[in-house]
Amino acid sequence: MTEMHKDYAAAKMGMWLFLFTEILLFGGLFLLYAAYRHRFVLAFHQAGQALDVVLGGANTVVLITSSLFVALSITALQQGRKVRCQWFLALTILMALVFLVNKYFEWSAKFSHGIYPGSEHLAQLPQGQALFYSLYFAMTGLHGIHVLLGAALLGVVMAFVARDRVRQDDYVLLENAGLYWHLVDLVWIYLFPLFYLIS
């Protein structure tokens, strides 16, 4: 029993250390954003007006809802409700897919206007606007990769729950996956106002 407790504590500590490195990664990007935002206030304001606030807001609601679902999945497994846990995990993954589909449509609109990394149109924009869009694609793209990885991780955990490899008395993997998912959501809560509400 003591060994299981030690393994649990080590797994939790390992996850928190990993999340710390993720915070450092995005924190560095946020600092870079802040520096350029301070230098190109008007250009960032003008570029931000071209983003779709409705889609960005919808994605914020989607991710906050997904965080609720993943939290409910942990509670369900703690209560021994395996099927309910799987349903909540499935809903979380569905929310992740909805987020990515919305992001696909949003990026497609930018691509159709010739605004994408390396495009001639982007290179012709004023320096501040070009930097805004470069940061937009880099940061939301990196976040999108994290959403995809998080959804894949939750899918693996859901399969483990089905096979009783993650269960009521041993749910640290689900809890760690939930922590990762909450971080993904938290990052978006910062990205949304920085890019979409800047104007």
In this predicted structure, the answer to whether residue 2 has a pLDDT above a threshold of 80 is: no
DSSP code, position 167: B
| pLDDT of 10 | 87
| 8 Å CB contact between 192 and 108 | no
| Structure confidence by residue, pLDDT tens digits, 135-191 | 999 999 999 999 999 999 999 999 999 999 999 999 999 999 999 999 999 999 999
Smallest CA-to-CA distance from 50 within 158, 125, 101, 152 is with 125
Nearest-angstrom CA–CA distance, 151 and 84? 18
| Structure confidence by residue, pLDDT tens digits, 74-95 | 999 999 999 999 999 999 999 9
- Count how many domains the chain has: 1
Three-point CA angle 85, 86, 92, nearest 5° = 95
Both tokens of 31, joined, read: 């600092």
| Structure confidence by residue, pLDDT tens digits, 92-110 | 999 999 999 999 999 999 9
The enclosing domain of 150 has a CATH number of: 1.20.120.80
State how far the alpha carbon of 96 is from the alpha carbons of 11, 53, 142, in Å.
Answer: 25, 19, 14
User: pLDDT > 70: what percent of the chain?
Assistant: 96
E strand or H helix at 66? helix 53-78
One-letter identity of residue 25: L
Q: How confident is the model at residue 1 (pLDDT cuts 50, 70, 90)?
A: very low
| pLDDT of 68 | 98
Question: What's the chain's length in residues?
Answer: 199
Three-point CA angle 66, 70, 72, nearest 5° = 115
The domain of 146 spans: 2-196
| Structure confidence by residue, pLDDT tens digits, 119-138 | 999 999 999 999 999 999 99
Its pTM surpasses 0.85: yes
| 8 Å CB contact between 135 and 51 | no
